[in-house]
Amino acid sequence: MTKKRIAFIYTDTTGLHKKMEYSTVDAKNLHTWARLVGLYYQLGYRDSETKEIVIEEKKKFIIIPEDYRIPIESTAVHMIDNKKANKKGIELSDVLDE
């Protein structure tokens, strides 16, 4: 029997979009959109006999802020500030390549 893979994805961001009136992102309104601060995922499958979820792989990434600052209100939720992100983070492009 083929295993059906399951992905659990969790993100930390800079908060909610400030203005929902924009339908596209461009250089003029980029500052109003929420930015990715952390990305966490787990890959696995449900065991057909035990019905339990078996996690085969998990990854955690902190993203280095590029042209934005992490608001203190967001840091209070996910505990990632600019200092931590710049010290322990990796480039978003590297995360997406993984």
Whether 13 contacts 37, CB under 8 Å:
yes
Instruction: Identify the CATH assignment for 5-97 out of 3.30.420.10, 3.30.43.10, 1.10.3720.10, 3.90.79.10.
Output: 3.30.420.10
Residue 3: what pLDDT?
81
Confidence grade of residue 68 (pLDDT, cut at 50, 70, 90): confident
Average pLDDT of span 69-80: 92
pLDDT band at 92 (very low <50, low <70, confident <90, very high): very high
Greater pLDDT, 23 or 5: 5
- Res 77: pLDDT: 92
**Torsion angle of the four alpha carbons 19, 24, 8, 48, in this order, in degrees rounded to the nearest 10:** 130
Q: What pLDDT sits at residue 30? A: 56
Give the domain ranges of the chain.
5-97
Encode pLDDT of 7-65 as tens digits: 999 999 988 766 656 566 655 555 567 889 999 999 999 998 898 999 999 999 999 99
